[in-house]
Chains A and B, each alone.
Chain A
Amino acid sequence: MTDSVVLGLELAYWQQSILRVIGVLVAVLLPAGTFVYVFLFKMVSFMQSRLGPMEAGPFGSLQLLAEVGKWLQKEDITPERADRVLFKMAPYLVVGTVLLTYMVVPFGPDLHLAKFDTGIFFALAVSSISSLGVLLAGWASANKYSLIGGLRAAGQLIAYELPMILAVVGVVIQAGTMNMSGIVAAQAGGSIFGVDIIGNPFFITQFVGFVVFMIAVQAELGQTPFDMPIAESELVTGYLTEYSGIRFLLFFIGEFAAAGAFSAIAATLFLGGWAVPSAWVELDNNIFNLLGPIILLTKMMLIGGFIFFIRFTYPRFREDQLQRLAWTVLIPISLANILVTTVLKVAF
């Protein structure tokens, strides 16, 4: 983990640390901003037969900066009866967990912020902390809508963490490692029944796991079929109701950065991550430290487009229907998936 050579440069530990901090911030903010502009502003506008932002910059591409500027100027209000410490802490907790999630995602052969042997385990464990931030926000706001929203988020977390982890277990069994770089290598160098022209992207061989994982991601992110914690038409805006100014902005960044983080994890687990199939080109090349992030971002955009397409097409479940879906459909399916994967893994 602490090898002193980064991208072929000999760097001291403090220099590496600065590079890592900058790297995480870029890795979080760049996809989050891209997601907001491309999906929330533009794709949705075209789906809903409107133009979206057009004034700020070419095709409204600077709209996000304008919005950020607006939020920074707004008054940061804390309700009189709120639990002030928790209320102020909650958004940082949400954003912080997203930053940690990105740490284990590999962007190239040498481009990883931290190299854990249990990378995917760490990512899933850390990402569920953000729901704690949401629960804190709901409780500390001293608002009944916020409280209901926060409690719904907590219920959702418990219900959907399980199928997500179980879906990942299939991938881990097939790849034989929990290391994210190892999973990428297993897909790039793998083969499906001896055919290795496209490697072995796990969204084909682990299709059931992929579907379960995407549904669970949708719920984990609180996107529309499962957006009960926010539920604009019922709970005003759920746990966000009392937030304004920079704290609202942090929640907003957290939401879209989390969408980016889960797209990155899904792209790494199921679409081959930063790599292309190794039948095409030799992957152990320094050029992939440059191309890798671009390839990964492309795959993230595919996943993200899918997430937001679902978000703006479907209506919302009710809380009890969501729980029923998780416990009676998704968890049995993913358990069966693990069983079948194990048997096939031993058989072949």
Chain B
Amino acid sequence: MTAVSDRQKLAYVNSQAADGRVNLEFETEEGMTLNLGPQHPATHGTLRIVVKLDGEQVLSCEPVMGYMHRGYEKLTEVRTYPQVTTLINRIDWLGSFANEVPFILAAEKLMEIEAPPRAQWIRTILFELSRIANISLFVGDMALHIGAMTAAFYAFRDREFVLNQIESATGGRFHPNFNRIGGLKDDLPKGWVADTKASLERIRDFCDEMEILVEGNEIFQARTRGIGVIPSEIALQFGLSGANLRASGVDWDLRRDQPVGLVWDKVDWKVITHPDGDSFARFWVRLQEIRESCNIVEQLLDGLPAGPYMAKVPRVIKVPEGEAWVATENPLGEMGYYLVSQGGLGPFRVKIRTASFNNVSVVPWVCRGVYVPDVVTILASLYFILGDIDR
């Protein structure tokens, strides 16, 4: 009989209490319970996934969220409208510019202001650049989770070209905070258009490289094809959005279906879908979307209109009473803001709909019966950002 110290007893009681709070049954008769996270390399952040195992096979799998909850919806209520963009930048920290846009659009909708065409154009360009920056990291990250380390370094290297462009336009690599109600903080710097075109070429080279190094690799295909299949009806039931939904064969893209306030309808591009719905399809769709985004940006740069970058707005911004919902197709999926204003300096209530929260909810469904390494590939292919889950 081993002696159990008081410390161990206390730790056990505490762990039971913690699991009681999240409604998890930790002790089981069958199999072994494995805690993936909150600190685990595969969850890149603090997502906790409680996996019940039989050998290496997953019996059930439960994501536990909330370890990084920062209360953004509440915090927005005590800030003025221009201050809110600083905060919501940090929701999906890899595509920060894209986070600001729907909120600003919702506020503009209530104020009945429309940003001038040049601002709309630049917003769309930066939106797509942040999508490229976001997804190119996914490509490397997915390869890293399957064990190919070199591809991750290539992704970090080539993503830098896009981040440099975002930085030179907005002043911030990660958190631009560049949108203003009624337009943008600043115009584009000199020579930016040519530089951006050059960096788009690098991104296209990066896509070619990844197609050879990762996508065409036999082992990669063996690890991803037929793994984590999400049929289209299941994907719709769980409310998946973005590339995860398109990889299940649902032709749905808010950029094409409701281009509110941005100019995707002015250029020629196509929505990428894949019928399989497995991890490989999700990887493939995202990789192709980088190429599509490059096309979009290139066309927008060619057609960039002249004119002011800021509409006439009052010095002190007060949004009139009302409610507005604006959603856009962010890098991770559909992101929307439900904005309730009572005419004050700041929002009365903001509800943020983020894509990753719904995307992760499908994990228990899709991870049943797979092996532990497949849990990691499926998580990587669903591609979530922790800030986007917990906000």
Contact = CB atoms under 8 A, between A and B. Distances in A.
A317 B223 contact: yes
B145 interface: yes
Given A50-B153, A319-B56, A144 B222 contact: no
B32 A233 contact: no
Interface in B16-52: 32, 34-35, 40-42
B258 interface: no
Nearest to A313: B150
Interface string A181-212: 00000000000000000000000000000000
A206 to B, nearest CB: 25
A80 B157 CA distance: 42
B154 interface: yes
Interface stretch (A59-67, A133-141, A221-229): A221-229
B188 interface: no
A232 interface: yes
Interface stretch (B81-89, B357-365, B372-380): B372-380
Contact of A315 (B34, B56, B148, B157): B148
Given A49-B154, A233-B147, A236-B40, A315 B220 contact: yes
B219 A320 contact: no
Contacts of A345: none
A234 B42 contact: yes
Looking at A225, A227, A231, A318, the one whose CB has the most chain B CB atoms below 10 A away is: A318
B374 A315 contact: no
Contact of B219 (A44, A225, A312): A225
B371 interface: yes
Interface residues of B, number: 32
Nearest to B376: A234
A47 B222 CA distance: 24
A50 B8 CA distance: 45
Interface in A260-318: 312-318
Contacts of B34: 144-145, 148
A48 interface: yes
B147 A316 contact: yes
B371 A233 contact: no
Contacts of A315: 143, 146-148, 214, 217, 219-220, 223
B236 interface: no
B217 A314 contact: yes
Interface string B138-158: 000001111111100110010
Given A233-B376, A313-B150, A321 B41 contact: no
A144 B150 contact: no
Given A233-B144, A234-B376, A317 B222 contact: yes
Interface residues of A, number: 29
A224 B146 CA distance: 10
Contacts of B223: 315-318, 321
A148 B371 CA distance: 12
Contacts of B219: 225, 314-317
Nearest to B213: A313
Contacts of A233: 41-42, 144-147, 376
A227 B150 contact: no
Nearest to B144: A233
A297 to B, nearest CB: 26
B136 to A, nearest CB: 15
Contacts of B42: 233-234
Interface in B147-194: 147-150, 153-154, 157
B368 to A, nearest CB: 17
Contact of B41 (A144, A224, A228, A232): A232
A227 B10 CA distance: 37
Nearest to B2: A81
Interface in B116-152: 143-150
A49 B147 contact: no
Contacts of B56: 148, 319
24 contacts: A48-B154, A144-B34, A145-B34, A148-B34, A148-B372, A224-B147, A225-B147, A233-B144, A233-B145, A234-B373, A235-B372, A236-B41, A312-B149, A312-B150, A314-B219, A315-B148, A315-B217, A315-B220, A316-B147, A316-B219, A316-B223, A318-B373, A319-B371, A321-B222
